[in-house]
Amino acid sequence: ELKKLPTLPQFLVADIEISQSCIPKPIDQVAREVGLLPDEVELYGQTKAKVHLSALKRLKNQPDGKYVVVTGITPTPLGEGKSTTTVGLVQALGAHLHQNVFACVRQPSQGPTFGIKGGAAGGGYCQITPMEEFNLHLTGDIHAITAANNLVAAAVDARIFHELTQTDQALYNRLVPSVSGVRKFSDIQIRRLQKLGINKTDPMALTKEEVNLFVRLDIDPGTITWQRVLDTNDRFLRKITIGQSPTEKGFSRMAQFDITVSSEIMAVLALSDGLDDMKKRLGRMVVASSKRGEPVTTDDLGVTGALAVLMRDAVKPNLMQTLEGTPVFVHAGPFANIAHGNSSVLADKIALKLVGKEGFVVTEAGFGADIGMEKFFNIKCRYSGLRPHVVVLVATVRALKMHGGGPAVTAGVPLPKEYMEENLQLLARGCSNLNKQIQNARMFGVPVVVAVNAFKTDTKAELALVVQMAKEAGAFDAVECTHWAEGGKGAVALAQAVQRASQAPSNFRFLYNVELPVIDKIRLIAQQIYGASDIELLPEAQEKVTLYTKQGFGNLPICMAKTHLSLSHDPEQKGAPAGFILPIRDIRASVGAGFLYPLVGTMSTMPGLPTRPCFYDIDLDPVSGEVNGLF
Amino acid sequence: ELKKLPTLPQFLVADIEISQSCIPKPIDQVAREVGLLPDEVELYGQTKAKVHLSALKRLKNQPDGKYVVVTGITPTPLGEGKSTTTVGLVQALGAHLHQNVFACVRQPSQGPTFGIKGGAAGGGYCQITPMEEFNLHLTGDIHAITAANNLVAAAVDARIFHELTQTDQALYNRLVPSVSGVRKFSDIQIRRLQKLGINKTDPMALTKEEVNLFVRLDIDPGTITWQRVLDTNDRFLRKITIGQSPTEKGFSRMAQFDITVSSEIMAVLALSDGLDDMKKRLGRMVVASSKRGEPVTTDDLGVTGALAVLMRDAVKPNLMQTLEGTPVFVHAGPFANIAHGNSSVLADKIALKLVGKEGFVVTEAGFGADIGMEKFFNIKCRYSGLRPHVVVLVATVRALKMHGGGPAVTAGVPLPKEYMEENLQLLARGCSNLNKQIQNARMFGVPVVVAVNAFKTDTKAELALVVQMAKEAGAFDAVECTHWAEGGKGAVALAQAVQRASQAPSNFRFLYNVELPVIDKIRLIAQQIYGASDIELLPEAQEKVTLYTKQGFGNLPICMAKTHLSLSHDPEQKGAPAGFILPIRDIRASVGAGFLYPLVGTMSTMPGLPTRPCFYDIDLDPVSGEVNGLF
């Protein structure tokens, strides 16, 4: 319900003014409306709530609703409105077509909110509200990940230090101390003994050799893959030397901080199926190799239980709403550059039960369809067992012109005139990208609806051309949308197309079998989805294939770490490049989350602050407590 | 209300088992009971709530209740039960003597919870519950501080970097960009111009010299006092080199991470009087000096508004309850080593209004009375304007025997027999410390009640001796307490003594006038409170006295950073040492929080993980979701 809306032309109204002009329903009312019981909801103030996993158990015999994934063509650096379209679509389905519907979206990192990009609540009249809650701490899930991630990092270095400075016996006396004359292994130590093949439970019964095996993780510092994280854009932490205080006795080493959303724990949160599954994944995360080449896990460090405790609340999806009062789950936000970039399995599952058989769950997959959607299908759907009914592919005239050879689009720089005036030739040429992304979606056997996200500078002829070319490329339907300016009303035609598509035959299939060799899986994605003629493994990548296959991780799905600005590895290659060789620089493993991630080029995992960060405009009114200047 | 309590001897029952055996009242019921309106309360689940500052406004004409501060004698490293006594006292006053009462305590750092010390919710039958909520994320206040603190740190280094790599004009073009052809200063930039004495608001009107002054903070990297923080015990971050990625072009420097609770922002939170006051304090925090020797503030960095936005929820006190259903505010937890170590002014103020004229607010001051209480009076009460009625001084037979010359008490090592058997001689000798701390409290004109926190190994004669010697030393009263084992019932006599003392004449006065020279203020504390014969300023401290006096910070109160394990600077000196020279190694400024902190010796601001951290025992039951192994 909207109170007096700003009357300025809509594109001159800041997102936060629109958001603050709308009075959200009390969130306990939203919870009641979607069929949650009071016991299943933990309120966090008036506008946010956490939903207990017990809801999933209660509803387990309820049939699932229709599962719709929103993705996009290869975007410009400005973004083409995936989040806005996700919100617009659920507003249309819910507030205008009166269907049960849920949006499931990612929690944004706070780094870009204060850095360059701003928030991620959607925009215009399609926003998750209150956007300042959505964009800032929310209910603390990302903070919990920071705490959990950094506890592991501190444990790794402290353990190496203690092993370097103590004898086996001293370590053993401390790890299994005598308390009132009794020595006892903790549960997690029993698990380590079992892993080592030592079937003893009496601490006094271990041989010297067994004590040695037990107390020494023997981490090879050169193999540590676990990094510290912060949810802050802090470029000076990209490469650091740690351990330079005299108290660390000279055991310094090079390390780095990444942005929190790139933590494996974020990927674990997004892919977990429940508390038990999350705890297991948290325990099998690999932090390094031992000097003998064996993987060292978080469970070996003794930290699994503490991680689960730190993540106990984070595992519950967060309920919010759109500007039009449609329910939204905001849950998990894995970094799409190196993880799978999709919101949580648990939020989707609970939402699918809550909307019921005829309802719709609209979930968003990060970046372009070649990355976000591919990972949604091959990783997220593989782990969740959920089967999607419809792909919504967001396209804009602006991005398609760029793909047709238009000048570079750069954030903070005025758009060149090609983007402000009609240019059907550039547009038609650029539809090669749209065509390829439609084929990519169809490869998985799911019908595609193209949402043409209209800007005020787009002409009728341009919009009609995109619709026509999308249909010719095999889209189930293609629809012009004006939800940014009009709210859900502007996406009613899109919603109707999605309704029709959800009745169409869907024949979902994965692109590859996980049992294939690592190289074959990578090649399949590169050739089928990106259009590469082949892949080339650089020596480091080749070594990792051997290592991970030997360590037993060869049958994990593949999570490509590739630029989203091109179907290829080169962000300059627009349209639908073909015939290129995709270089694989290195491969990393997120064993707890459950994937290998080949690095195609260099990925930055820590953004920086520009000369004039967003924070210059952000302010708090000390009287009203209102936030200004977020966008 | 307690459900079936464990029947084992109480000292064998883990704190978390007692905590989990008690079903807390729904927190909205507690809120109603204390007289808060529904609009003033934001629920965070069933057991925690944030209280709006509007409550303070609504109750501004209500008289304040009695203000009681709990402190202690110089403790052993095991702690003497200050938190437990705080909880026991409010349980006695509330659940047994039916007075309106509130406890106000600090939020503990998560670092020690997973490191060595464990949690801080009290113990035995005197706990804040649920202790796992109290000890872990609570409502995210510490996480908000981490985020805010590190945004400042990232802004400092990014700003230095951008100034080093850009011309004045390039910086100006980016700091005041042309948006649709219009250049505009943001509010915070106008404030910077005013500070520089430039009374212009048109960006095109600045001279070259003015542009230069405006764009260059000209931070001297050697003077940076702002450190990054994490709420994790990570010893390898005590000294690090940052900026070693090629993207930072060689501008690396030495830096460090501290534990989050030592952030100045935590001290700001604890001392703020409201949203407006907090914002002002956040803006005047000094992060470094410019090359011209002028203080560079967070406001100069443009980040004040963003900090206020990040701290918008943290400023609201958190409502919880004790095992006996007594209301508790948990709010702020400034690091007692380098800050003032007291919970928030705002929580105390709201609580004093809520309990009303005849009610009691029991607030805890960290560490021994020479530090926590001295800072409570001279810093916290000075800023809050509140006047305390009673000091409760916690003493134990164990600590007093140590002060009398007993062997060292060490965490994790069984207690020597002197502490397990009656020894009146050691005890009597050790009462020198009790005597001195009683004098210290009386110096501020407030009556002192000594709470003798009884352990099961204490004999009747020992307990009686402490009571007798406390009274002889001038305590208003001295009472034996057994609240740890018995809950509030065990502190009823203490509560009655506090009631009587609150009627006694109190003639509160500060120890010093802030207008005195910095050195005189330090000397007064050293001589009057610690028993030193004089102070000695090392050269760095001497330089800082000159610098801060010149920069206009000389009239701030003094926050001594001194060991809590002795009245002197040497933790080995027990009892009541006298005649020593107190060495002042250096002096730092927390200008936003509002104090100078002289460093007496070296303070560790980042704890480490031991060989076997607490986390080995911490676990989550994946079925019930219950936390085990916290203590």
Q: Per-residue pLDDT tens for B247-276?
A: 999 999 999 999 999 999 999 999 999 999
Q: Which of B304, B337, B357 is the last residue of a domain?
A: B304
B126-129 and B122-123 strand pairing: antiparallel
Nearest to A612 among B177, B245, B256 (CB): B177
Q: Per-residue pLDDT tens for B27-76?
A: 999 999 999 999 999 999 999 999 999 999 999 999 999 999 999 999 99
State which residues form the domain around B569: 518-599
Do B480 and B536 fall into the same domain?
no
Q: Do B245 and A238 touch (CB under 8 A)?
A: yes
Q: Which of B474, B503, B532 is the last residue of a domain?
A: B503
Reading the block at residue A384, the tokens are 């969740």
Do A562 and A497 fall into the same domain?
no
Which amino acid, A340?
H
Catalytic (active site) residue A102: no
SS3 of residue A242 by DSSP: strand
pLDDT of residue B13: 62
Catalytic (active site) residue A139: no
Do A529 and A490 fall into the same domain?
no
Q: Per-residue pLDDT tens for B370-411?
A: 999 999 999 999 999 999 999 999 999 999 999 999 999 987
Mutate to test the interface with A, among B133, B167, B273, B616 (most CBs of A within 10 A): B616
Q: Which of A306, A327, A360 is the last residue of a domain?
A: A306
Q: Per-residue pLDDT tens for B554-607?
A: 999 999 999 999 999 999 999 999 999 999 999 999 999 999 999 998 888 999
With a CB cutoff of 8 Å and minimum separation 6, the contacts of B460 are none
Q: At B3, is the pLDDT very low, low, confident or very high (cuts 50, 70, 90)?
A: very low
Catalytic (active site) residue A595: no
- For residue A218, is it within any domain? yes
- For residue B32, is it within any domain? yes
Q: Give the minimum alpha-carbon distance from B142 to chain A in angstroms, rounded to a whole number.
A: 10
Mutate to test the interface with B, among A309, A410, A624 (most CBs of B within 10 A): A309
Mutate to test the interface with A, among B240, B253, B620, B630 (most CBs of A within 10 A): B620
Query: CATH no. for residue A396?
Result: 3.40.50.300
Do A354 and A498 fall into the same domain?
yes
With a CB cutoff of 8 Å and minimum separation 6, the contacts of A327 are A30, A33, A34, A94, A101, A102, A103, A319, A320, A321, A351, A354
CB of A144 within 8 Å of a chain B CB? The answer is yes
Q: Which of A552, A561, A542 is nearest to A515 (CA)?
A: A552
Do A213 and A301 fall into the same domain?
yes
Please identify among residues 585-624 of chain A the ones whose CB lies closer than 8 Å to any CB of chain B: 608-613, 615-620, 622-623
pLDDT of residue B18: 80
CB of B136 within 8 Å of a chain A CB? The answer is yes
Can you list the positions of beta strands (E) in B308-456?
318-322, 327-330, 360-368, 390-395, 448-453
Taking each continuous run of H as one helix and of E as one strand, the counts in chain B are 24, 26
Q: Do B187 and A619 touch (CB under 8 A)?
A: yes
Please identify among residues 469-528 of chain A the ones whose CB lies closer than 8 Å to any CB of chain B: none
Do B264 and B398 fall into the same domain?
no
Please identify among residues 149-188 of chain B the ones whose CB lies closer than 8 Å to any CB of chain A: 150-151, 153-155, 157-158, 161-162, 166, 171, 174-177, 186-188
C-beta of residue B73 within 8 angstroms of C-beta of residue B433: yes
Nearest to B303 among A150, A615, A620 (CB): A615
Residue of B nearest to A278 (CA): B622
Do B351 and B418 fall into the same domain?
yes
pTM: 0.96
Catalytic (active site) residue A106: yes
**Using a CB-CB distance cutoff of 8 angstroms, which residues of chain A are in contact with residue B628?**
305
Count of Cβ atoms closer than 10 Å to residue B610 Cβ: 15
Query: Above pLDDT 90, what percent of chain B?
Result: 87
Q: Per-residue pLDDT tens for A591-611?
A: 999 999 999 988 889 999 999
Reading the block at residue B372, the tokens are 């926590």
Q: Do A175 and B611 touch (CB under 8 A)?
A: yes
- For residue B430, is it within any domain? yes
CA distance B325 to A307: 30
Do A324 and A273 fall into the same domain?
no
SS3 of residue B202 by DSSP: coil
pLDDT of residue B490: 96
Q: Give the minimum alpha-carbon distance from B512 to chain A in angstroms, rounded to a whole number.
A: 33
Residue written as tokens 């501008």?
Answer: B251
Q: Per-residue pLDDT tens for B522-535?
A: 999 999 999 999 99
Average pLDDT, chain B: 94
pLDDT of residue B180: 79
Per the DSSP assignment, residues forming a β-bridge with B41 are B51
- For residue A513, is it within any domain? no
pLDDT at B7 over 70: no
- For residue B620, is it within any domain? no
- For residue A298, is it within any domain? yes
Do A362 and A433 fall into the same domain?
yes
- For residue B612, is it within any domain? no
pLDDT of residue B17: 79
C-beta of residue B298 within 8 angstroms of C-beta of residue B282: yes
CB of A147 within 8 Å of a chain B CB? The answer is yes
Do B165 and B267 fall into the same domain?
yes
Reading the block at residue A75, the tokens are 């975007």
Query: CATH no. for residue B167?
Result: 3.30.1510.10
**Using a CB-CB distance cutoff of 8 angstroms, which residues of chain B are in contact with residue A144?**
137, 143
Reading the block at residue B5, the tokens are 């309590």
Nearest to A609 among B158, B608, B623 (CB): B158
Catalytic (active site) residue A549: no
Q: Which of B301, B323, B266 is nearest to B487 (CA)?
A: B323
Mean pLDDT of B331-359: 94
- For residue A545, is it within any domain? yes
**Using a CB-CB distance cutoff of 8 angstroms, which residues of chain B are in contact with residue A137?**
140, 143-144, 147, 310, 313
Mutate to test the interface with B, among A420, A611, A624 (most CBs of B within 10 A): A611
Nearest to B232 among A150, A255, A276 (CB): A150
pLDDT at B8 over 80: no
C-beta of residue B270 within 8 angstroms of C-beta of residue B381: no
Mean pLDDT of B307-315: 97
Please identify among residues 211-240 of chain A the ones whose CB lies closer than 8 Å to any CB of chain B: 228, 230-240
**Using a CB-CB distance cutoff of 8 angstroms, which residues of chain B are in contact with residue A186?**
616-617
Per-10-residue mean pLDDT of chain A, 631 residues long, equals 38 70 92 97 96 97 97 93 96 97 96 81 90 94 98 98 97 91 92 96 96 97 97 97 96 97 97 97 97 96 97 98 97 88 96 98 92 97 97 98 95 88 97 98 97 96 98 98 95 98 93 98 98 97 97 97 95 96 97 97 90 92 89 75
C-beta of residue B22 within 8 angstroms of C-beta of residue B91: no
**What does the DSSP 8-state code read for residue B245?**
S
Q: Give the minimum alpha-carbon distance from A578 to chain B in angstroms, rounded to a whole number.
A: 32
Q: Give the minimum alpha-carbon distance from A414 to chain B in angstroms, rounded to a whole number.
A: 8
Query: CATH no. for residue A524?
Result: 3.10.410.10
Taking each continuous run of H as one helix and of E as one strand, the counts in chain A are 23, 26
Q: Which of A24, A22, A25, A17 is nearest to A2 (CA)?
A: A22
Nearest to B305 among A46, A245, A615 (CB): A615
pLDDT of residue B602: 83
Do A17 and A106 fall into the same domain?
yes
**Using a CB-CB distance cutoff of 8 angstroms, which residues of chain B are in contact with residue A302?**
612-613, 615-616
CA distance B229 to A237: 13
Catalytic (active site) residue A550: no
Do B333 and B457 fall into the same domain?
yes
Whether the complex's predicted ipTM surpasses the cut of 0.90: yes
pLDDT of residue A13: 63
C-beta of residue A336 within 8 angstroms of C-beta of residue A372: yes
User: In chain B, how many domains are there?
Assistant: 3
CA distance B425 to B415: 18
